[in-house]
Amino acid sequence: MNLSLRRCVVVFAVVLALVVGSSAAFASSLTIMQTEEPRSLDPSNHSATYTASVLHSMYENLTALDEEYEIVPGLATDWEQSEDGMKWTFYLRSGVAFHDGTPFDADAVKTAVDRMIDPDKGLVVYGRLGPVIEEVEVVDDLTVVFHLQDPYPAFTRLMAIGQAAIVSPSVIDDVASEPVGTGPYKFVEYVSGERVVMERNENYWGEVPEVEQLVWRWSPEDSVLVMALQTGEVDVVTPLPPAHVSVLEQYQGVEVIETPGARAFWVALNTTKEPLDDVRVRQALNYATDRQGLIDSILWGSGTVANSPVSPGNFGYDETLEAYPHDPERARELLAEAGYEDGFSIAIAVQEAEAQYVEALQGMWREVGVDVIVDQMEGGIWSDAVFAPKEENEVQASFASWSSATLDADMMLTPLFATDSFPPASANLGFYSNERVDELLQKAAFETDPEAREAMYIEAQGIIHEEAAHITLWYGNNIVGLQDNIEGIWTLAGGMLVVRNPRIVE
Amino acid sequence: MGRYIARKLVVLPIVMIGVSFIIFFVVRAIPGDPARLMAGTEATQEQVMAMRRQLGLDRSILFQYGVFLQGAVRGDLGNSINSGMPVVGEISRRIPYTLQLTFAALLVASVLGISAGVLAAVYKHSWVDQGVMLFAIIGASAANFWVALMAMSVFSVQLGWLPLFGADTWRHMVLPTFSLCVYPLALIARMSRSSMLEVVKQDYVRTAQAKGVSKFVVYTKHALRNALIPVITLVGLHFGVLLGGAVVTETVFSWPGVGRLLVDAVRYRDYPIIQGTVLFTVLSVVLVNFLVDIVLAAMNPRMRFD
């Protein structure tokens, strides 16, 4: 009796273990590792790409970008703009609810957008939407009208940026600690310093994802990303450093996806200071730069030579523009013409992590007699230095990169090259100023005819390129490493990972 | 002794207020604007100003310090600029992890280090001694970072015995503890050896030996007690260092300790988090030094205070 009872217990325990074990194996989960911790769970109050990746699984916008970077319906099914471009009407998707059951309707959109454009809230998104949107009007349950301050032709693209995600009115002031959206995954927990966990939203209006759970982790250490993929502790890593690509490609069971990105890397030249105020000198530096060489050596081939200040994938990008070829001879001629046959020295302000790129330029420019001083700075100090107002700005040249969240030329050209964008107002770091460019950018921003708009951006790009305001170097690739049984994950041009309906195939 | 403790306890709040004052002004004096770093390069000036207003950074520093002190006495150190979460919650969640790792690493380092050091002293100039000292030199000079990555590569990637990163089970602790203890272990072993060799030259040890007490008892009972005094001071000092966060180890192993929190906070100029973390570290160091004093006093009557 006693013995058989004990046997019963053992059998029961074994069965229990099997059941628990197998159900645990059933619960599909995906672990994604990025290089930094999310800075906030409030989609409207950060500007970090890898924070956006995490939040994009939970939140949605009125419009969305697809894999071809085209605008597609999101929480709005359709939209139209008024004749004068001052009014945009969005027709909302019906039957959608936020994760906590709050219905998604026109009032919810108004509450969410009103928060974004309220200057007193001091949110990061305010800088994007504040100057554009005048007022949000609720017409009926599923119709909202956005009244703009000026026409904004790329408005559907603006509404697709991660910071314009619609958060639930139920948590409107606490969204940083209680994220509630409408996306395919809903928030479970954020263990600071460790992980963010999400589970699939069974009531999702679109296709309910197959994978039940997402776990987001992070490590600033490149080699940890690689090892985590090798041990299988992590399913997806991004951004994978180019140096590790070839190693991982040979590793069994692991796959690397590399796609051209929309981030342009450049050196801004201070056009108000000698000798860079001379266009010939700026062109000479462009000719002295071996862009393909940089990509091959430092980026291990993971990039594309930049031919324009606007990157591919953006509306208005001019693919016909010809990149400055590597021509040291021509560079020396131009320098001689400008009176610098003996060369000169130039300090380039650069953040620590990017110093190696400037060091590569140092070698190239020495060939034409230009001596580069690598002025390496910690991030915060760099930002203070390069954004100093014109009178106080001591920076001769600065290395930086840029991508436009809207994938529209306006956000690549206006902040970087318009006279109104001199620091600290915006990021025209070289104080470049050209009347025709200003005029084109202003007109294009309000032009509602796409073709006419594109033509203006192409003309502006040509002028900026010719006047060599920047040394545009390369467009970086987005590199994702993943287990080869994972599908349905892709990156947006700016490097943001999209994990909305991943699949684990056997 | 009682007076000593009382004096320390009176001084503590004064130290904390002084430190909070200094750190408050120092973090604001470093270049770098939290609002701009948060809004990114793409931010406009208008946006940065709106954010500074919202965060209260547009007020005078003295006013800001007043607000901070007012909260601090009520146990509220403000909210993180980036995540918006309360600083106290954030730090108190991280502290146990830092304590865990610090205790584990120092325990392992002390036990192994003292044993190895004593052995090396007892068998002076033998192969044991040479082996221990060789390890001590390598251990003290190997970069923490390199030890950690090598350990991960061997034990996680190649052998698959231990998890690579995280802090979920005791198995996650093995590699970080190992890589963190190498350096103090080496120091403690060296210190124990030289201190032991010093002590065994003393008269009272010779007396004990002359009495015919066995070598084992002479070393472990008579000599060790005195030889440990500088070692305990060393462990105490190291404790303070590690409580401030073993930044490299925490970073490499994704260990959610205080050190990692501080490094990220400095990067984004998250003032409230920096202030909170530094205050916690100062408090810990003061308390640990205090404990070391008491332990030493208990061990050595000559060091008692009254």
pLDDT number for residue B273: 93
> Per-residue pLDDT for A193 more than 90?
no
Amino acid type, A476 = G
Least confident range from A268-277, B39-48, B270-279: namely B39-48
Residue A323's Cβ-side half-sphere holds a number of Cα atoms within 13 Å equal to 19
How many Å apart are CA A421 and CA B45, to the nearest integer? 9
Amino acid type, A146 = F
DSSP state of A278: S
Q: How is chain A split into domains, by residue range? A: 29-37+179-260+479-504, 60-171, 262-477
How many Å apart are CA B235 and CA B207, to the nearest integer? 30
Per residue in A227-256, pLDDT (tens digit) is: 999 999 999 999 998 889 988 888 889 999
Cis bond before residue A328 (omega within 30° of 0): no
Name the residue in chain A with its Cα closest to that of B40.
A47
Question: Is B81 contained in some domain?
Answer: no
How many Å apart are CA A394 and CA A405, to the nearest integer? 29
pLDDT number for residue B15: 86
Between positions 178 and 217 of B, the ones with CB within 8 A of A are none
Alpha helices in B142-223 (DSSP H): 144-151, 171-199, 203-211, 215-217
- Give A218-223's long-range contacts (Cβ < 8 A, gap of 24+): A218/A33, A218/A34, A218/A35, A218/A36, A218/A37, A218/A50, A218/B254, A219/A33, A219/A35, A219/B165, A219/B251, A219/B252, A219/B254, A220/A35, A220/A36, A220/B251, A221/B251, A221/B252, A222/A35, A223/B149
Statement: A262-477 belongs to CATH 3.30.2130.30: no
Name the residue in chain B with its Cα closest to that of A426.
B44
Question: Is B80 contained in some domain?
Answer: no
Residue B52 distance to chain A (closest CA, Å): 7
Nearest to A44 by CA among A99, A142, A114, A145: A114
Do B30 and B166 lie in a common domain? no
pLDDT number for residue A403: 86
How many Å apart are CA B206 and CA A113, to the nearest integer? 84
> Per-residue pLDDT for A460 more than 70?
yes
Do B130 and B62 lie in a common domain? no
Residue A340 CB burial class (10 angstroms; 0-12, 13-18, ≥19): buried
Q: Which residue has the higher pLDDT, B297 or A312?
A: A312
Question: Could you tell me if A283 and A324 are in contact, meaning their C-beta atoms sit under 8 angstroms apart?
Answer: yes
pLDDT number for residue A26: 46
How many Å apart are CA A163 and CA A52, to the nearest integer? 8
Residue B152 distance to chain A (closest CA, Å): 8
Do B45 and B145 lie in a common domain? no
Do B36 and B106 lie in a common domain? no
Between positions 239 and 298 of A, the ones with CB within 8 A of B are none
pLDDT number for residue B210: 83
Nearest by CB to A381, from B31, B41, B260: name it: B31
Between positions 18 and 77 of B, the ones with CB within 8 A of A are 30-33, 36-48, 50-55
Between positions 131 and 170 of B, the ones with CB within 8 A of A are 149, 152-153, 156-157, 160, 163-167
How many Å apart are CA B172 and CA A122, to the nearest integer? 40
> Per-residue pLDDT for A14 more than 50?
no
Q: What is the dihedral of CA A189, A230, A497, A97, to 10 degrees?
A: -40
* B10 and chain A in contact, CB less than 8 A: no
Per residue in A65-84, pLDDT (tens digit) is: 998 888 999 999 999 999 99
Between positions 444 and 473 of A, the ones with CB within 8 A of B are none
pLDDT number for residue A20: 42
* A149 and chain B in contact, CB less than 8 A: no
How many Å apart are CA A299 and CA A503, to the nearest integer? 30
pLDDT number for residue A380: 86
Question: Is B67 contained in some domain?
Answer: yes
Question: Could you tell me if A312 and A69 are in contact, meaning their C-beta atoms sit under 8 angstroms apart?
Answer: no
DSSP for B44-108, written as a single string:
-HHHHHHHHHHHTTTS-HHHHHHHHHHHHHTT---B-TTT--BHHHHHHHHHHHHHHHHHHHHHH
Do B28 and B147 lie in a common domain? no
Domain A60-171 is of which CATH architecture? Alpha-Beta Complex (3.90)
Chain A residues whose CB is inside 8 A of the B44 CB are 127, 131, 415, 425-426
Mean pLDDT of B91-100: 90
Per residue in A148-192, pLDDT (tens digit) is: 999 998 899 999 999 999 999 999 988 988 999 999 999 999 988
Band (A25; pLDDT cuts 50, 70, 90): very low
pLDDT number for residue B61: 87
Q: Phi first, then psi: what are they for A269, rounded to 5°?
A: -105, 130
Name the residue in chain B with its Cα closest to that of A194.
B256
pLDDT number for residue B241: 76
> Per-residue pLDDT for A19 more than 70?
no
Do B66 and B175 lie in a common domain? no
Nearest by CB to B83, from A39, A120, A228: name it: A39
A39 and B156 in contact by Cβ < 8 A? Answer: no
Query: In total, how many domains does chain B have?
Result: 2
Which residues are paired to B79 by β-bridges?
B86
Q: What percent of chain B has pLDDT over 90?
A: 19
Residue A301's Cβ-side half-sphere holds a number of Cα atoms within 13 Å equal to 4
Q: What is the dihedral of CA A123, A127, A131, A133, to 10 degrees?
A: -50
pLDDT number for residue B1: 66
Do B143 and B49 lie in a common domain? no
A119 and B31 in contact by Cβ < 8 A? Answer: no
> Per-residue pLDDT for A351 more than 60?
yes
What is the SS3 assignment for A214? strand
Q: How far apart are the two ends of chain A, measured CA to CA in Å?
A: 46
Band (A129; pLDDT cuts 50, 70, 90): very high
How many Å apart are CA B235 and CA B76, to the nearest integer? 32
CATH number for the region A29-37+179-260+479-504 comes to 3.40.190.10
Mean pLDDT of B44-58: 84
pLDDT number for residue B56: 85
Do B63 and B126 lie in a common domain? no
Band (B245; pLDDT cuts 50, 70, 90): low
pLDDT number for residue A16: 45
A224 and B254 in contact by Cβ < 8 A? Answer: yes
How many Å apart are CA B19 and CA B278, to the nearest integer? 9
* A vs B: CB pairs below 8 A: 157
Do B113 and B259 lie in a common domain? yes
Q: CB under 8 Å to B151, separation ≥6 — which residues?
A: B175, B178, B179
Mean pLDDT of A421-440: 93
DSSP for A367-393, written as a single string:
TTTEEEEEEEE-HHHHHHHHTS-TTT-
pLDDT number for residue B305: 57
> Per-residue pLDDT for B35 more than 90?
no
How many Å apart are CA A362 and CA A357, to the nearest integer? 9
> Per-residue pLDDT for B32 more than 90?
no
Cis bond before residue A239 (omega within 30° of 0): yes
Do B260 and B119 lie in a common domain? yes
| Residue-averaged pLDDT of chain A | 90
Do B116 and B265 lie in a common domain? yes
pLDDT number for residue A3: 45
B31 and A384 in contact by Cβ < 8 A? Answer: yes
pLDDT number for residue B303: 64
Question: Is B173 contained in some domain?
Answer: yes
Question: Is B232 contained in some domain?
Answer: yes
Least confident range from A303-317, A443-457, B234-248: namely B234-248
Band (B40; pLDDT cuts 50, 70, 90): confident
| Structural domain harbouring B251 | 91-305
Q: Which residue has the higher pLDDT, A497 or B38?
A: A497
A70-79 exposure pattern, b = at least 16 Cβ within 10 A, e = fewer: ebeebbbeeb
A426 and B167 in contact by Cβ < 8 A? Answer: no
Question: Is B275 contained in some domain?
Answer: yes
Question: Could you tell me if A468 and A282 are in contact, meaning their C-beta atoms sit under 8 angstroms apart?
Answer: yes
Residue B243 distance to chain A (closest CA, Å): 17
Q: Which residue has the higher pLDDT, A50 or B241?
A: A50
List the CATH number of the domain containing B124. Answer: 1.10.3720.10
Angle between helix B87-122 and B127-141 (nearest 10): 150
Chain A residues whose CB is inside 8 A of the B37 CB are 379-380, 383
Question: Is B82 contained in some domain?
Answer: no
Cβ atoms within 10 Å, residue B64: 19
Domain boundary pick from B46, B73, B100:
B73
Mean pLDDT of A466-495: 92
Band (A18; pLDDT cuts 50, 70, 90): very low
Do B151 and B286 lie in a common domain? yes
Band (A21; pLDDT cuts 50, 70, 90): very low
